[in-house]
């Protein structure tokens, strides 16, 4: 008869495999913390790793998300006849107003061009753009960024301004061959040099991870009021000047807050603005009197 | 509402069927990962952004712990971090803590009905959301209470949508079991 010691140590009775299984999560959590610390210290090539992965994943994401895009679009497409009539009426009224504005714009355009010629102004480079659909919006509740299925192959590069409909929504922070990540103006890390359109007061527009943006580094007694428009100043040379971003909606003790012109939560199509894009290919061109002027000078 | 939940014991069988199950799981995870990054914009509701990865990891930790090992969870988390522009390791850490914590409560939840499973998910989702918000804000040294709102919305979405996601998850578990 073989007798077993009743006081066998815990380690001896625990199979090695169970011990490893129990330790693995702890080791991996520690590894994740270490990676985060290294990321914070900029000791890892995180940007290159991201670009490499998103370049590979963007075609997969486009393919997998296409049925959901169709689903979302069909939800958007459902509107009652009554809503459509109201919208139609509103659009007609708007069209009448816009036609008047168009007449004015043509007049100002001609006037502007003649003034530029008189003053011998050195024109800004022509703006061109690439229009594309947003593939993914991966950051969720924390990181306000979107992925685009265009990259350096389409002449999109780091620093390019990105617009949707009415105004600026962000800028390209990472560009791979076939994908680009856009940091939205609402992100905590977004700081854009801006100008208040009427007063030409300069400030920094900072994202707060909320719907509104905050104007920082304002000069004292800047005399800002609700309703004033905020545009890019072009300082730093990264973004083109005078791209509209938003409108001041709150001036109070807590600061001055700006509401973006574009409904950032609902963006589907965006335009990447690039001053150096070759004309032709898949790109469009924003024709402005400045374009004609600059080509004349060459 | 009471549903009987039985868990599977794990992966067994030949190498070929094991590889098949591995490939199925990998494809399923890629789809979940893409869905987690896809902006569902439905009419006036705006964005609907439930955390599909968290739901799957919670469900598997209880119903079929062998589906995803901690190492696989770590890799998925890192991929999510890279794709989403998160601080590297944030999702990996959160998903590992969720998996580890849920596995410890597995036996308790297994004996209960669906409501307990559901309530458990809601609690885990809230904990994970607040944890990620705190770590993210600490990483950028910028605490904004206003940014808690989208986090809480996502937590509520995750809890509300969970019963719908249980169906494909349980169908997936069944197909894995059949291949065994």
Its ipTM equals: 0.81
- Find, among A287, A280, A274, the residue nearest to A152 by Cα: A274
- With H, G, I as helix, E, B as strand and everything else as coil, classify residue B71: helix
pLDDT tens digits for range A155-210: 888 889 998 877 899 999 989 888 899 999 998 889 999 999 888 888 999 998 88
Q: Which two tokens stand for residue B132?
A: 């990620």
**Average pLDDT per 10 consecutive residues for chain B, totaling 180 residues:** 46 68 82 75 59 90 87 92 88 95 89 88 95 90 78 87 87 77
Residue among A32, A38, A78 whose CB faces B93 most closely: A32
For residue A61, the chain B residues in CB contact (below 8 A) are 34, 37-38
Backbone angles phi, psi at B156, to 5 degrees: -65, -45
- With H, G, I as helix, E, B as strand and everything else as coil, classify residue A209: coil
How far is it, in rounded angstroms, from Cα B39 to Cα A58? 14
Q: Which two tokens stand for residue B48?
A: 């609907």
Share of chain A above pLDDT 70, in %: 78
Please report the residues numbered 172 through 231 in chain A whose beta carbons come closer than 8 angstroms to any beta carbon of chain B: 181, 183, 188-189, 208-210
Residue among B41, B73, B100 whose CB faces A266 most closely: B41
Residue among B69, B77, B146 whose CB faces A208 most closely: B146
Please report the residues numbered 129 through 168 in chain A whose beta carbons come closer than 8 angstroms to any beta carbon of chain B: 134, 136-143, 145-147
Q: Which two tokens stand for residue A33?
A: 């913390």
Cβ–Cβ < 8 Å for B37, B83: yes
Cβ contact, residue pair A28, B154, below 8 Å: no
Min Cα–Cα distance to chain A from B99, Å: 9
Closest residue in B to A49 (Cα) is B82
- With H, G, I as helix, E, B as strand and everything else as coil, classify residue A291: helix
Cβ–Cβ < 8 Å for A213, A227: no
pLDDT band at residue A284 under the 50/70/90 scheme: very low
Host H or E run for residue B46: strand B46-48
Residue among A26, A36, A75 whose CB faces B87 most closely: A36
Cβ–Cβ < 8 Å for A235, A139: no
């Amino acid at each position: 008869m073989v007798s077993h010691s009743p006081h066998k140590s815990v380690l001896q009775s625990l199979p090695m495999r169970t011990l490893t299984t129990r330790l693995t999560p702890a080791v991996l959590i520690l590894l994740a913390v270490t990676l985060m610390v290294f990321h914070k210290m900029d000791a890892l090539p995180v940007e290159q790793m991201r670009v490499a992965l998103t370049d590979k994943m963007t075609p997969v994401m486009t393919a997998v998300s296409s049925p959901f895009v169709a689903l979302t679009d069909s939800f958007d497409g459902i509107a009652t006849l009554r809503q459509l009539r109201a919208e139609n009426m509103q659009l007609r009224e708007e069209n009448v107003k816009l036609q008047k504005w168009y007449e004015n714009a043509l007049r100002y355009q001609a006037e502007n061009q003649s003034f530029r010629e008189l003053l011998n102004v050195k024109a800004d480079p022509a703006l061109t753009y690439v229009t594309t659909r947003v593939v993914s919006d991966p950051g969720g509740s924390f990181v306000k960024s979107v992925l685009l299925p265009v990259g350096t192959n389409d002449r999109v590069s780091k620093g390019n301004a990105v617009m949707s409909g009415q105004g600026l929504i962000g800028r390209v922070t990472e560009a791979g061959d076939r994908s680009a990540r856009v940091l939205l103006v609402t992100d905590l890390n977004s700081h854009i040099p801006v100008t208040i359109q009427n007063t030409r007061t300069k400030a920094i527009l900072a994202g707060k991870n909320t719907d509104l943006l905050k104007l920082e580094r304002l000069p004292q007694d800047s005399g800002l009021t609700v309703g004033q428009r905020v545009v890019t100043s072009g300082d730093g040379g990264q973004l083109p000047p005078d791209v509209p971003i938003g409108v001041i909606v709150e001036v109070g003790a807590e600061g001055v807050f700006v509401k973006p012109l574009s409904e950032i939560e609902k963006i589907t199509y965006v335009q990447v603005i690039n001053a150096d894009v070759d004309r032709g290919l898949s790109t469009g061109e924003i024709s402005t009197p400045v374009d004609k002027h600059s080509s004349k000078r060459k | 509402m009471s549903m009987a939940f039985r868990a599977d014991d794990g992966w067994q069988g030949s190498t070929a069927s094991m590889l098949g199950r591995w490939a199925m799981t990998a494809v399923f995870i890629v789809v979940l990962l893409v869905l987690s990054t896809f902006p569902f914009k439905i009419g006036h509701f705006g964005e609907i952004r439930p955390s599909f990865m968290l739901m799957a990891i919670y469900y598997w930790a209880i119903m079929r712990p062998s589906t995803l090992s901690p190492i696989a969870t770590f890799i998925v988390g890192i991929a999510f971090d890279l794709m989403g522009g998160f601080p590297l390791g944030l999702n990996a850490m959160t998903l590992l803590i969720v998996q580890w914590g849920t596995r410890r409560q597995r036996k308790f939840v297994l004996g209960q009905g669906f409501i307990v499973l559901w309530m458990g998910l809601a609690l885990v989702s809230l904990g994970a959301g607040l944890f990620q918000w705190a770590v993210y804000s600490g990483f950028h040294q910028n605490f904004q209470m206003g940014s808690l709102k989208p986090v809480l919305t996502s937590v509520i979405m995750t809890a509300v949508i969970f019963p719908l996601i249980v169906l494909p998850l349980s169908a997936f578990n069944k197909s894995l079991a059949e291949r065994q």
